[in-house]
Structure 1
Amino acid sequence: MKKSARKRAIYVLAGCIAALALCIAGALALLRREPAAQDVHIPGTRGDIYATVQLPGKLARGGEMPLVVLCHGFTGNRAGDGHFAPLADDLAAQGIASVRLDFPGCGDSDEPFTAYTLHNMADDVESVITYMQTTYGTGRTALVGHSMGGRLASLYPQMKGGISALVLWSPANGAGLNGLEFLNIDDFSAVESLAAEAEANGTVSTWGVTLGAEFVTEMRNTDPNAALRESALPTLLTYSGNESILSDTTQAETIAAVESLPQGKVVLEPFAAGNHNYLSDDPATAARLDEDLRGVTVEFLVGCLK
């Protein structure tokens, strides 16, 4: 073979190898790519639950997928103030499935807000966990809860069980009616009056919603920090620097409860500039708060679930 022909053959071979490498890289990228988030209706004890499921990519799966259930706060929805969707993406990149749901009377829920009770919310979390297990074969499960969702997450292991870890973002964990302090942080007597009215009349209107007596009575009868100590699960707690609707007492008591746990972790400093929802009027600060919140959450959950 002439030298020029050999050179052409070498160039052709090199080109083929490069093309093959690109094809392989593309195929691997497709396999790694997380499926799109999917809105679903999950059968619940009282009707369909509106939720969004995010699964990891195929290569991230190895046996049972860990699962994280994302629980929003009072009058919120499954967007989680914009934090839940990017958090679900980050979890999927680590091989962890997630599901985020609208609680009764919130988001796309068909129910009135009077159905917003700790019992009903716990039933809905249990239903979505069962759905994920039977549909996708998920395994070890953690809860991420913000504000009232954090209170629910704190109580859930005692109410239902089956949880491996907790992440609490600014949980409304005041004992008893102190958990409702956010309704009027400047005058707790007004909160007590609202609670008494609800329990006497069946409902009370506040914060643009109608609370049922059952929810108020549940709040009066629960102590989430005592529940945390009893369950003794691995728990991550965060509070922001501008918790204008949760008292210093609630924060101090919850921090003490989590720090007493064998695998309790409290992270505060990165969120000094944030409000209760880990947001800020400054876009750069808001982006940094979201990134830090997701970062500490994913790192903690990967350590607990994988």
Structure 2
Amino acid sequence: MDNITFYNNAGLRLSGVFQRGTNGKLVIMCHGFRSNRSSRGRFDRFSSTFQQMGYNVLRFDFGGCGNSDDRPLTLAGEVMDLTAAINYAVGLGFENIALYGHSLGARVCLEAYNSSYVNTLLLTGAGTGPVRYDWTDEFSSTQLKELTATGVLTLPVEDPYRPEIKIARQMLLDFEQCDQQELLSNITCPTLIVHGDQGEEEILMPLTKKGMKWLPENSKLEVIKGAQHSFMEHLNEVEAITCAWLRKHF
């Protein structure tokens, strides 16, 4: 496993790890909201499995997360970061790329999709359309007051590289500002979307089900019964589904 550094178009330093495979193909993994390249251990596990299958794997921290340079989180910023990761991979000689995204990382994969190099998408807990969250359930009144006053919210995180992250007001708006038909109709590669049916997934899964008609015909929605948005109790099933997809489509 090699530590890597690359830069987005704004000059922001992005930090990641590269795991060497044997088949000349690359999986780029995109973590979710308020997370990092480890994704609570999910990406550590899955990337090791993908590497054992022969795939090269690149995992990185979005700007403002993990060991990457600081900036307030926005969807546009993360799309810029993933575009930089794809360009970095192409610069290394990779032309066959799969994007794996969880939660917000899945939305970023859809937004940053590049048909010239990306051959398939694997998305878990994806937000494929507009979702309106009640942020009073997620953040304290003090944090929301800070957001109103400054346009940025400060959130403590458990991360080996940083004590806190900054979330821009636009980031919270980005979740609900989404044209599902436009977003999904842009995708031309086989796309796997894995959802649970509990908690937040009770909202996200039906939204994806509604939007599947705009994805290519060889795309697939898999629903894991009993799974929450984190899938932490169902990692064996997620791993089996995604590995089978990679074998067939990548």
Matched, 1:253 2:195: no
* 1:264 paired to 2:215: no
- The residue identity in structure 2 corresponding to 1:148 is L
1:90 is aligned to 2:49: yes
Is residue 79 of structure 2 the alignment partner of residue 122 of structure 1?
yes
The 8 Å contact of residues 69 and 144 in structure 1, kept in 2 or not, is answered as yes
TM-score, scaled to structure 1: 0.67
User: Would you tell me which structure has more helix in proportion to its own residues?
Assistant: 1
CA distance in 1, matches of 2:137, 2:185: 26
1:295 paired residue among 236, 240, 245: 240
What is the letter of the counterpart of residue 111 of structure 2?
L
Q: What TM-score do the two structures reach when normalised by structure 2?
A: 0.81
The amino acid of 1:223's aligned partner reads D
- Contact 2:180–2:211, Cα closer than 8 Å, also in 1: no
**SS at structure 1 position matched to 2:110:** helix
2:103 paired residue number:
147
Question: How far apart, CA to CA, are the structure 2 residues paired with 1:111 and 1:81?
Answer: 20
Q: 1:165 aligns with which of 94, 114, 120?
A: 120
Secondary structure of 2:83's aligned partner: helix
Counterpart CA distance in 2 for 1:297 and 1:253 is: 21
Query: Matched residues, percent identical?
Result: 22
- What is the CA–CA distance in structure 2 between the aligned matches of 1:251 and 1:73, rounded to whole Å? 17
> What RMSD, in angstroms, separates the aligned Cα atoms of the two structures?
2.9
2:6 maps to: 42
CA radius of gyration, larger in: 1
| Aligned residue among 83, 99, 122 for 2:58 | 99
What are the ranges of 5 or more consecutive residues in structure 1 without an aligned counterpart?
A: 1-36, 187-193, 281-288
Is the CA contact (8 Å cut-off) linking 1:144 and 1:150 kept in structure 2? yes
Per-residue deviation, residues 7-37 of structure 1 (Å, max 9, x unmatched):
xxxxxxxxxxxxxxxxxxxxxxxxxxxxxx2
Please state how far the C-alpha of 1:104 moved relative to its aligned partner. 1.7
Considering fraction of residues, name the structure with more strand.
2
1:203 aligns with 2:203: no
Whole-Å Cα distance in 2 between the matches of residues 103 and 182 of structure 1? Answer: 24
Task: Kindly state the Cα deviation for residue 79 of structure 1 after the two structures are TM-superposed.
Answer: 0.5
Name which structure has the greater RCO, CA cutoff 8 Å, separation 6+.
2
Amino acid aligned to 1:240: G
Which residue does 1:238 correspond to in 2? 194
| Alignment partners' CA distance in 1, 2:214 and 2:29 | 24
Where in structure 2 are the equivalents of 1:217-232 lying within 5 Å? 217-224=173-180, 226-232=182-188
Give the length in aligned residue pairs.
236
